[in-house]
Structure 1
Amino acid sequence: LRLQTLADVRDKKLDLKDAYNTFYFMIEEIGYYYAPFIDYFKDDLRPIFDAGRTVKEEIEKTIKIFKNSNKELHDRCETEFEALQNNYGYLFEC
């Protein structure tokens, strides 16, 4: 989904704000579905959490782009991302 989202942005089928929302949703879903099992299946879930780490990096890149183009959107997304980090950041630590 990450690669398809990036391709859609590149092909102008999706704007960057929608890409941010997609990436955000992906992290929420990983947290929702897999966080309850981290203590039992951490090694088995490693590929999912690694993919989530990559998605988090895309979110950070997107927020940096917003900083240069839309201050209000940047600030809102930065605040949302901080909340996401507080809720699910531990899943993506190395």
Structure 2
Amino acid sequence: NLKYWIEPKEVPSCLLSHLGIVRIDYFECEDQEFHMIKYILRNGKVLKRMEIYSKCYGIDLEKKSEALKRISLFPRGSVECELAFH
């Protein structure tokens, strides 16, 4: 499996004005996942909620807690955005 994240040169208009909820499944605490989440949180101007579901296996509670702390510190384009980590 090839896993990578390339930040777009321009922010898509849907991210700026329409995207309200983002759900990420099978989160594995990979660097590129953190970069993508940071980008969405920073540029999601009307984002109301981001839900992140880690893989049921392979991520221990300590690693999940560290990931949540890291993501919670990312700047947000929407002050209304709630973060849920499962």
Q: TM-score range by the shorter chain?
A: 0.3 to 0.5
Whichever of the two has the greater Rg, that structure is: 1
TM-score norm. by structure 2 comes to 0.40
Higher strand share goes to which structure?
2
Higher helix share goes to which structure?
1
TM-score norm. by structure 1 comes to 0.38
